[in-house]
Every structure is written in C-alpha cells, then in structure tokens.
C-alpha cells in the first residue's frame, strides 16, 4: 500500500470509526519486538502481530522507535507502514534523526515522547512548555509532509496550553499515575488521578475544540473502563498488558477482550 493510500484509508476510517463516541483502540506492539530482541532472532514478527491486531479489531497500531533500538527496529517501521490497513502511530523522540525517518515513512500519526536511555518505559510526559520554539518548528515540519502530530503529556494545564500553542493535532494524556494507583489498589489515589485526567480533558477541549485527546500508559483490562468512559477521549493506546494477555489467550482474543473491557460489552 502506498503512503497516499494509507492516508486516504485513515481519513475515511477516522470519520466513521469513532462515530459511536467510544474510544478507539491503538495497540502498541513494541513488546512483540522486545521478545524477539531478547534472543536476537527473527521471531516473533511485529508485522505479523500488527496485522493480527488489525484483523481482531484494533483501530490503529502504535510502535516506538527508540533511540537505542531496544525493541522496534528501523526495518519494522518500514515493513509495517507498507502493510497496515488502519493507521500507524509512530512514537519517537523529537530528534533530528527521527524527523528524517518519519519523513520517509510518513506514518498517519507521530506521537512525540520524552526518552531517557535508562528508563524501562516512557516515564513521564513530554515537557512541552520548556521547549515551545523547538517543538513548534518540529511539529510544523512533520505536518508539512502530511503527518498528524500528537504530544504525550502529563495531564497538567501548563502542558496542555503549551501543546495548543505548538500547533499539535492531538495530545495523549499520560495515565501512568492512575495505572500505578490501580495496581497498588489505592482507590483514593485512583480517584484523584481520574479527576485530574477528566479535568485535563475539559481543559484541552476548552483550549482547542479541534485537538484530539488520546490517553494511554499502564492501562489493563481491569483499569481501562474508567478512562474509556471519559467523554471526549478519542483513542487509547495500550501495549504491555494486552501483549501479556496474549500469552494466555492469543493476540486476537486479547484485542477483542481489551475492546470489550473498554466498551463494557462484558
């Protein structure tokens, strides 16, 4: 599939898919590559995983090309972009190297994230407010070649205002603190974090009604419902817990189960 076809498919998908006002599911398949890289072999294939997720109802596929290439490799990005029928969300740091790669791959979305070499996963949101000039220019360069840009931020007013001022097409609210509280069964903290995320959604809607609002990080079948029910959330990006479920039930069933948990079918 050509890049132009990809964008056309994604545009038509975007208008129809979310018409039920239920959040879409973007599946992050980085950990399929983590398993492959652990042995330095050619399996399991992130491409095959992406296609299976789509077949099972994923609305998009997220991959993070990290500077240290610890899981997804450059060839994965190109192979997956070539064959996806939904949308690729390419997570990356706002570096010159990644700008060049994104310009060649032309994913539907780029999500800019902070990156630290020593971290196990993306730890906090991007500090947009301290780098507005750099990010404004960076985002404009991506948008100039037809890529929509999302910024992964903590649910804070300061970061939301900065994302709007940089011209981002979307924000992705970091749900990590909520997810950690849920794993610790800390109900008070969960409720505080839910309030913070709900308030952030309202703030973002008030600041720019055309900016899409996504959320993700640490979401599981047990804690996703409360986030999925927040009015105004467009898409949830979920990886680790879904891939973990897949070990027991298979990838397609894991996608179906996550969508059910999001949409309260079971």
User: Which residues does residue 212 pair with via DSSP β-bridges, in sequence order?
Assistant: 170
- List Cβ neighbours of 62 (8 Å cut-off, separation of 6 or more): 26, 27, 28, 29, 30, 88, 89, 90, 91, 111, 237, 239
The DSSP output letter for 56 is T
**64 included as an active-site residue:** yes
* Pairing state between β 60-64 and 88-92: parallel
Q: Is 24 in the site for ligand PXP (CB under 6 A)?
A: no
The verdict on 122 binding ligand PXP (CB under 6 A) reads yes
Say how many C-beta atoms besides its own lie within 10 A of residue 41's C-beta.
Answer: 9
Among 52, 190, 238, 257, binds ligand PXP (CB under 6 A): 238
Q: What is the helix (H) or strand (E) element at residue 35, kind and residue range?
A: helix 30-39
Structure tokens at 77: 């990005």
What is the smallest separation between the CB atom of 124 and ligand PXP, expressed in angstroms?
Answer: 10
Q: Which of 211, 219, 251, 254 binds ligand PXP (CB under 6 A)?
A: 219
For residue 124, how many other CB atoms are within 10 A of its CB? 16
Work out whether 80 is an interface residue with ligand PXP (CB under 6 A): no
State yes or no: is 174 an active-site residue: no
- Is 217 part of the annotated catalytic residue set? yes
Q: Which range of residues in 129-137, 162-170, 239-247, 255-263 is near ligand PXP by CB under 6 A?
A: 239-247
- Contact region with ligand PXP (CB under 6 A), list: 50-58, 189-197, 234-242, 247-255: 234-242
Residue number with CB closer to ligand PXP (28 or 129): 28
Q: Quick check: 70 binds ligand PXP (CB under 6 A)?
A: no
Cβ contact 174:155 at 8 Å: yes
Which residues are marked as active site? 64, 91, 217
């Amino acid at each position: 599939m050509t890049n132009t076809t990809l964008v056309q498919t994604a545009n038509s998908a975007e208008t129809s898919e979310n018409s039920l006002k239920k959040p879409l599911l973007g599946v992050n398949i980085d950990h399929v590559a983590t398993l492959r890289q652990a042995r330095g072999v050619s399996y399991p294939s992130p491409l095959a995983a992406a296609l299976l997720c789509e077949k099972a109802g994923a609305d998009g596929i997220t991959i993070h090309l990290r500077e240290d290439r610890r899981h997804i490799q450059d060839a994965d990005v190109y192979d997956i972009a070539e064959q996806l029928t939904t949308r690729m969300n390419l997570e990356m740091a706002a570096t010159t190297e990644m700008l060049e790669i994104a310009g060649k791959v032309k994913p539907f979305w780029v999500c800019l994230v902070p990156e630290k070499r020593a971290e196990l996963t993306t730890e906090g949101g991007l500090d947009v407010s301290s780098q507005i000039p750099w990010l404004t220019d960076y985002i404009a360069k991506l948008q100039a070649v037809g890529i929509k840009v999302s910024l992964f931020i903590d649910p804070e007013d300061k970061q939301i205002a900065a994302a709007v001022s940089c011209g981002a097409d979307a924000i992705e609210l970091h749900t990590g603190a909520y997810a950690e509280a849920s794993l610790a069964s800390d109900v008070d903290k969960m409720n505080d974090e839910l309030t913070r995320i709900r308030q952030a959604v309202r703030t973002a809607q008030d600041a720019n009604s055309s900016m899409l609002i996504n959320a993700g990080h640490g979401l599981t079948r047990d804690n996703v419902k409360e986030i999925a029910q927040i009015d105004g959330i467009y898409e949830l990006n979920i990886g680790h817990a879904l891939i973990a479920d897949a070990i027991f039930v298979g990838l397609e069933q894991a996608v179906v189960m996550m969508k059910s948990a999001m949409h309260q079918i079971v």
